Structure 1
Amino acid sequence: MRGQPTVLHLDMDAFYASVEQAAKPSLRGKPVIVGGLGPRGVVATASYEARRFGVHSAMPMAQARRLAPHAACLVPRFGVYRGISETVMRLLAELSPLVEPLSLDEAFVDLAAGDPGAATADEALRVGTLLRARIRAATGLTGSVGLAGSKMLAKIASERAKPDGLELIPPGGERDLLAPLPVRTLPGVGPATAETLRRAGIGTIGETLRAGEDELLRLLGKAHGASVFAMASGVDERPVVPDRDTKSVSVEDTFDVDVTDRARVRFEVAGLADRCARRLREAGRSGRTVVLKVRRYDFTTLTRSETLRGPTDDPAVVREAAARLLELVDTTEGVRLLGVGVSGLADFTQEDLFAQAAQAARADRTVPAVHGAQPVHGAQAGPERPAGEDAGAAEPSPESTPGEGRAAARSWLPGLDVAHARLGPGWVQGSGLGRVTVRFERPDSTPGPVRTFSVDDPELAPGEPLPLVPDGEGSGVLIGPGSGEPPEVPVG
């Protein structure tokens, strides 16, 4: 444990929803929900205005709509979120060489590694305060910062600081701070562990300590019990680890209506395999193990995997492996979710010669088109995260977050960017019955007018996202020695 609060945890506030509010002036101060919009869509994140109605991430979108019927429900724009995340991560990298991203909107920073001679509480407060100012200047968004002597406590501090705040937990008072918190606060304590402890009458971190290490070893086993007891005591020796290695890349689709047609299932699996391979190549990675995930009509989930002779990023190889795995699964009674992933990642490819020959022999074979409703992506939650995220990350995790449909632009989904030949840039408010309603506004404008068009209006086309902050603004905010004194901030 450190004697100074030099571990910083940054968590952007309601990241996806905040980006949409910053991009769309008419939504500022109003409830916004981002996620999949189909009958089985899931909430990715909700603005603080929507959270007052009880909406939260991982909630079914249908339930969220009932809780907040007047909220704006939008599909995610992951390209925009990734771009802003890269800006934020660059700012963190200027503070220290040790930055550990957890998702698109969350990361740890080891401030002591950036400037060991300035590793004091006062310096940490100053850097945290100016970091928040610089993020706001560069992105127009807010983030909450926690400072402490360990990763666990820094994350707790940032959660206490939300929204748009900063809190420092000085070393020495960890046990008193942790005692009243629920045991789920501890890293490594998930629903199953929490339920085991609850049955033993343990619900808070203080009760965990009073139960004693021996009891935790009996309940949870030697390794897990010892880890939980150490965390409950405020002891967290985990270092900040940069460049966390992604263990897998995957994509998933959840369907509005259970898919029973076998040809349609094959078609969807092939498309998922292509998207998964594309993400592998974009990340400069390859993998040896192809995994197929099938969630059936009754919510049972099956996974099948095949390990190749060498790592690959070739779409044809991934597609053929996924097709072979599909032959092992009975889908006749209906499928509600399909996913394809690749694990055992490497930074190079070593294609199996027989696989290459097989793909060449099949090069002229085309996958038959199957007509039907486009899939609506389902989600897991990530820290930010990703889950930490997408979180995220990372990204938050396998690419299973709602809303990244292949026909999103053509379907005029709510929240997507459009451009009109005469009226300029705008975003889709809604569509149906052959009509699409667009609000025309920019991030730096006042709330704009609303117009309705035919979905095939020749003057209306998908548009490009506009920057949240005009070029040149906020460039004078610095985070360096002598760059200013921090205002007063809460100290736990």
Structure 2
Amino acid sequence: MSEDPSNDAEDEAEASGSGGLRKIIHVDMDAFFASVEQRDDPELRGKPVAVGGSGGRGVVAAASYEARKFGVRSAMPSVTAKRLCPDLIFVRHRFDAYKEASRQIRRIFEHHTPHVEPLSLDEAYLDVTEDRLGIGSATRIAELIRQEIRAKTKLTASAGVSYNKFLAKLASDQNKPNGLCVIRPGQGADFVAGLPIRRFHGVGPKAEEKMKRLGIETGADLAAKDIEFLRANFGSFADYLYRAARGIDLRPVRAHRVRKSVGGERTFSEDISSGAALRDTLENIIEIVWGRIENASKDDKPTRGRTITLKVKFTDFQIMSRAKSVPHWIEDKQEFARLSRELLEEALPLPMPIRLMGLTLSNLEGAQDRGKEQREDAQLSLL
């Protein structure tokens, strides 16, 4: 739920002028929220821990590796997690502690490069094509960063090193936890060829099932399909799949990316259709997304927006969205939940079962002003 895999003309234009291969690192903290809790409470170390509410509508925000062995995952309803792991220990989130650890980690990144694109509190892309300390080796920089994180925060991080963002992110997940993986120039297509299709960002359980029905189980199977076949079966998702199967990604690391929205979505292992199931699912997503909104807040300034969008994807892969805007800032969970529920009630009954549901808070405070500044800068550059 962290990143849009789509590409655009602006990214390609910027990448085409980069003058050669980049050196990209993707750093991903290991079970970040749960690891902070285990670090700060010795009684939790070595035990299955879930951050989140344990009540009937609670949802797992993060799970320790001890809990993951039982199948417990983030975004899972707490009742399901408890059924999978009866000894699971639930702890309430402490966002202040996570933010403080994240600030320490960010300072380590910025010691090596100004080109840092955070995706969340616990992961970021770094462009070290030209690093501040003149080390030159992206692999060595990644090793030093992991060592510094461990020394200063007592937490572990995994890192992926490659020549583009897509491959670096795949690499960071390859040897988790506390691992490092390097995909060198010329190795990207071969690396991707051997991956199960589920490892591709954006490919959920239902998309995986559809691909398997079409004879696509690995990156190599995907690369064997031409763009016309992919567009006929996957629509706008096809261009991303075509590039990804070849290890191609032209997106630059954007250090000063303006956040335009905060949201999250869930793809279900089974389609849901009843009003009761849809309402319960929405409550889980409200918990997930509000946690992300709190995570996105900087220092003591909360993230505030004016527009909430509900998105559902039907079993035939068609997408429906409904949005509601208000004239004031939405800055508390109760109002966010109330408006989200209103959106769902207005959409019911749905014409068919759904396989995905998501919520987004947009029209964020500050995004409009930053956008205006960027347009004015562009106009000035033409004078």
- What band does the TM-score fall into relative to the shorter chain? 0.5 to 0.7
| Residue identity (%) | 41
Give structure 1 stretches of 5+ with no counterpart: 252-257, 259-271, 294-301, 332-338, 351-492
Distance 2:202 2:62 in 1: 23
Give the aligned partner of residue 106 of structure 1.
Answer: 123
Residue 213 (structure 1) shift: 2.8
Partner in structure 1 of residue 80 of structure 2: 63
Alignment of 1:233-252 (within 5 A): 233-248=246-261
What displacement does 1:8 show?
0.4
Within 5 A, what are the aligned runs for 1:183-198? 183-191=197-205, 193-198=207-212
Equivalent of 1:228 in 233, 237, 241: 241
Residues 1:209 and 1:248: Cα distance change in structure 2 (over 3 Å): closer
1:73 to 71, 90, 102: 90
Q: 2:171 is aligned with what amino acid?
A: A
Does the C-alpha gap of structure 1 residues 127 and 314 become closer, same or farther in structure 2, counting only changes over 3 Å?
A: closer
The question of 1:148 aligning with 2:165 is answered: no
| 2:181 corresponds to | 167
Which residue does 2:56 correspond to in 1? 39
SS across alignment from 1:220: helix
Contact 1:149 1:171 (C-alpha < 8 Å) held by counterparts: yes
Q: Pairwise mapping of residues 120-139 of structure 1 onto structure 2 (< 5 A)?
A: 123-139=137-153
The structural deviation recorded for 1:29 is 1.7
The answer to whether the 8 A contact 1:35-1:42 is kept is yes
Q: Which amino acid counterpart does residue 97 of structure 2 have in structure 1?
A: V
In the alignment, what sits opposite 1:82?
99
Q: Which residue of 1 aligns with 2:28?
A: 11
Task: Indicate if the aligned counterparts of 1:33 and 1:43 stay in contact, CA closer than 8 A.
Answer: yes
Q: 2:109 aligns with which of 81, 92, 113?
A: 92
Does the 8 A contact of 1:284 with 1:347 survive in 2? no
Distance change >3 Å, CA 188–CA 342, structure 1 → 2:
closer
Question: How far does residue 343 in structure 1 lie from its aligned partner after superposition?
Answer: 2.0
The partner residue of 1:345 within 355, 359, 364 is 364
SS in 2 for 1:70: coil
2:216 — aligned with what? Answer: 202
Matches within 5 A, 1:308-457: 312-313=328-329, 329=345, 342-347=361-366
TM superposition shift of 1:197: 2.2
AA aligned to 1:146 is: G
Greater gyration radius: 1
CA pair 279-6 structure 1, distance change in 2 beyond 3 A: closer
Tell me the distance in 2 between the aligned counterparts of 1:246 and 1:18: 27
- Following superposition, the deviation at residue 329 of structure 1 comes to 5.0
What per-residue deviation string (whole Å, max 9, x for no partner) do you get for residues 281-307 of structure 1?
9547664535689xxxxxxxx986444
Does the C-alpha gap of structure 1 residues 329 and 229 become closer, same or farther in structure 2, counting only changes over 3 Å? closer
Q: How does 1:467-482 map to 2 (within 5 A)?
A: none
Say if 1:113 and 1:188 are closer, same or farther in 2 by CA, change over 3 A: farther
Give the partner amino acid of 2:307.
T
Determine which structure has greater relative contact order: mean sequence separation of CA pairs < 8 Å that are 6+ residues apart, divided by chain length. Answer: 1
Q: Which residue pairs with 1:25 in the alignment?
A: 42
Cα shift readout 1:206-226 (whole Å, capped 9, x = no counterpart): 1111223332132223x5323
Give 3-state SS (helix, strand or coil) of 1:88's partner.
helix
SS at match of 2:93: coil
Relative to structure 2, which stretch is displaced further, 4-13 or 91-100? 4-13
Task: Say whether the 8 Å CA contact 1:5–1:169 is kept in structure 2.
Answer: no
**Is 1:81–1:104's contact at 8 Å kept on the other side of the alignment?**
yes
Native 8 Å contact 2:324 2:343 kept in 1: no
What TM-score, normalized to structure 2? 0.68
Distance change (3 Å), C-alpha of 1:14 and 1:250:
closer
The answer (yes or no) to whether the contact 1:5–1:171 under 8 Å persists in 2 is no
CA shift, 1:180, in A, is: 2.3
Q: Is the contact between residue 3 and residue 171 of structure 1 (CA under 8 Å) also seen in structure 2?
A: no
| CA spacing shift, 1:168–1:66, aligned 2, 3 Å | same
Q: Deviations over 1:430-485 (max 9, x none)?
A: xxxxxxxxxxxxxxxxxxxxxxxxxxxxxxxxxxxxxxxxxxxxxxxxxxxxxxxx
Tell me the CA shift for residue 314 of structure 1: 7.8
**What's the CA shift string for 1:299-350, capped at 9, x where partnerless?**
xxx9864445xx744879x969x78x9599589xxxxxxx997522242899
Shift of 1:132: 0.9
CA pair 114-84 structure 1, distance change in 2 beyond 3 A: same
Q: 1:209 to 1:47 in 2, by over 3 A?
A: same
Greater fraction helix: 2
* Aligned pairs, number: 309
Aligned to 2:381: none
Deviation at 1:13, TM superposition (A): 0.6
Q: Following the alignment from structure 1 to structure 2, what is the Cα–Cα distance between the partners of residues 59 and 39?
A: 12
Given that 2:305 and 2:330 are in contact with CA atoms closer than 8 Å, whether structure 1 keeps it comes out as no
Query: Which of 307, 311, 327 in structure 2 is aligned with 1:289?
Result: 307
Q: Find the counterpart in structure 1 of residue 195 from structure 2.
A: 181
Report the 3-state secondary structure (helix = DSSP H, G, I; strand = E; otherwise coil) of the residue aligned with 1:246: coil
The whole-number CA distance in structure 2 between the counterparts of 1:195 and 1:66 is 26
Change (3 A) 1:219 1:291: closer
Question: What is the CA distance between 1:19 and its match in structure 2?
Answer: 0.7
CA RMSD, aligned part only? 4.1
When the two structures are superposed, what TM-score results if normalisation uses the length of structure 1? 0.54
Check conservation: 2:259, 2:367, Cα contact below 8 A.
no
Structure 2 Cα separation of the partners of residues 134 and 281 of structure 1: 23
More displaced, 69-78 or 229-238?
Answer: 69-78
